[in-house]
Amino acid sequence: MPSTNTYDPAGAGPVSRQGRKYTVRRWSVRNARFLEWLYIVFADMLLDLHPLWKLIGYQRIEGPMVFIEKHSKGFLFDCRMCGQCVLSSTGMACPMNCPKLLRNGPCGGVRSDGNCEVEPDMPCVWTEAWKGSQLMKNGDAINTVQLPHDQSLRGTSSWLRATAEKAAQRKAMK
Ligand code: SF4
């Protein structure tokens, strides 16, 4: 039906509005290769700073790190701060946005347009994960079976935990 308004703003309809909710998330998947590289550089920098984190105390630095991680990854990936980040294995699509919280591939209900059966306006995180993984250098990591999520890690910093683990591995190899 033609609009009776004299001016129809672009993208003002409910469908466009709904689609915009996922704009940044989809950008991150399209740029998965760049974000993969960026994370490697960032993770190396965090690891190099391990002596400083140790000096300050990992527990003391946890609060500020959670703040930064939550807001930066919240913006880019709609991160839910599960504390056990698997973005590097899921094409930069956060699996915790799946309403069924599936961390090892899609359920059987993906719609023919690639959207979620529970939230029809949302692209299935696993169709997005597959697209992103195809762009990444280490995209085969999507085939890695993820262990069940440790709920006790919710709200904690994946960055710090990964750094502490890598530092311990490095020390053990010396
Ligand atoms: S996998 Fe976990 S830490 Fe990584 S973006 Fe998703 S909720 Fe955040």
Dist. CA 102 → ligand 1 center (Å): 12
pTM of the model: 0.87
In short, whether 98's Cβ falls inside 6 Å of ligand 1 is no
Residue 123 DSSP SS3: strand
In tens, the pLDDT along 97-139 reads 999 999 999 999 999 999 999 999 999 999 999 999 999 999 9
The pLDDT confidence band at residue 1, using thresholds 50, 70 and 90, is very low
- Provide mean pLDDT across the span 28-33: 98
Task: Write out the H or E segment, with its range, that includes residue 67.
Answer: helix 58-77
Tell how far the Cα of 28 is from the centroid of ligand 1, in angstroms. Answer: 13
Q: Kindly report the backbone phi and psi dihedral angles of residue 115, in degrees, each rounded to the nearest multiple of 5, phi listed first.
A: -95, 170
Distance CA 50, CA 61 (A): 11
- Residue 123 phi/psi, 5-degree rounding, is -60, 135
CB 46 within 8 A of CB 159: yes
Q: What is the pLDDT of residues 33-82, one digit of tens each?
A: 999 999 999 999 999 999 999 999 999 999 999 999 999 999 999 999 99
Phi, psi of 79, deg, nearest 5: -55, 140
